């Protein structure tokens, strides 16, 4: 399995975006089961304190990333690329979308109490949200949801990994019905 681990490690190193199992099997020539076994073993190898990387499952794909405990030392130099910070208004808007998706612009505005046009446009430009359909309502308004880029940016493998909300927060995001 050492040769297979080396191949998978090299693929993860060479790819700049997370790689899904299908692509890993195609590039490596290994079966899905072999790739999953190799990922588990490689992940175990990387837990050693003398290793600087770990395998992260981001948005259904795997990527080699620096260990979290090393990030404070690396962020000054390497954090700038991905660290185009979102404003408080953008964070509030994307939170509403993440927890209430699919959701329309007017529904977002009802929750925020202010216009959401600029924030939606900004989040669409950053590809953190996407149009997911049209609501079956008068005017057929566009519904928004989070994107794969959102999962990558926030280090989530799926939307189910979002932190759980307490009852008051659930009520605010209209999750109770």
Write out pLDDT tens, residues 31-62.
999 999 999 999 999 999 999 999 988 777 89
Cβ proximity of 100 and 92 under 8 Å: no
Choice between 91 and 174, residue whose per-residue pLDDT is larger: 91
Q: Other CB atoms closer than 10 Å to residue 116's CB: what's the count?
A: 25
pLDDT tier, 173 (very low <50, low <70, confident <90, very high otherwise): low
Asked whether the predicted pLDDT for residue 20 surpasses 70, the reply is yes
Q: Helix (H, G, I), strand (E, B), or coil: what is residue 103?
A: strand
Chain centre distance of CA 8: 22
User: How high is the mean pLDDT of the chain?
Assistant: 87
Q: What is the pLDDT of residue 85?
A: 74
What is the pLDDT, as a whole number, of residue 118?
87
Reply yes or no on whether the pLDDT at 14 is more than 50.
yes
**145 pLDDT exceeds 70?**
yes
What local confidence, expressed as pLDDT, does residue 80 receive? 53
Ordered by start, the domain boundaries in the chain are 2-78, 88-172
- Examine residue 102 and say whether the peptide bond preceding it is cis (omega within 30 degrees of 0): yes
Q: Which architecture does CATH list for 2-78?
A: Orthogonal Bundle (1.10)
Equal CATH topology for 2-78 and 88-172: yes
pLDDT at residue 176 greater than cutoff 70: no
Closest among 168, 126, 171, 172 to 149, alpha carbons compared: 126
Query: What is the tens place of the pLDDT at every residue in 84-122?
Result: 678 888 899 999 999 999 999 999 999 988 988 889 998
Q: Which residues contact 177 (CB under 8 A, 6 or more apart)?
A: none
Residue 174: pLDDT band (50, 70, 90) is low
Place of tokens 């927890």: 99
Task: For 35, list phi and psi in degrees, rounded to 5.
Answer: -60, -45
Evaluate whether 36 touches 6 at the Cβ level (below 8 Å): no
pLDDT score of 177? 44
- pLDDT above 90: percentage of residues in the chain: 54
Q: How many Å from the N-terminal Cα to the C-terminal Cα in the chain? A: 50
Q: pTM, whole model, 2 decimals?
A: 0.60
What is the pLDDT confidence band of residue 143, given thresholds at 50, 70 and 90? very high
The class that CATH gives domain 88-172 is mainly alpha
């Amino acid at each position: 399995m050492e040769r297979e681990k080396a191949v998978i490690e090299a693929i993860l190193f060479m790819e700049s975006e997370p790689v899904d199992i299908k692509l890993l099997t195609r590039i490596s020539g290994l079966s899905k089961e072999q790739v999953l076994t190799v990922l588990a073993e490689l992940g175990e190898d990387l837990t050693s304190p003398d290793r600087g990387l770990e395998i992260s499952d981001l948005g259904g794909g795997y990527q080699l990333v620096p260990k979290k405990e090393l990030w404070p030392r690396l962020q000054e130099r390497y954090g700038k690329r991905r660290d185009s910070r979102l404003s408080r208004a953008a964070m509030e808007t994307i939170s509403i979308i993440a927890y209430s998706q699919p959701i329309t612009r007017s529904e977002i505005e009802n929750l925020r109490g202010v216009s959401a046009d600029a924030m939606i446009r900004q989040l669409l430009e950053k590809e953190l949200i996407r149009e997911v359909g049209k609501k079956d309502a008068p005017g057929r308004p566009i519904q928004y949801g989070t994107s794969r880029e959102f999962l990558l940016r926030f280090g989530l493998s799926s939307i189910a990994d979002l932190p759980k909300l307490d009852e008051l927060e659930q009520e605010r995001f209209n999750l109770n019905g």
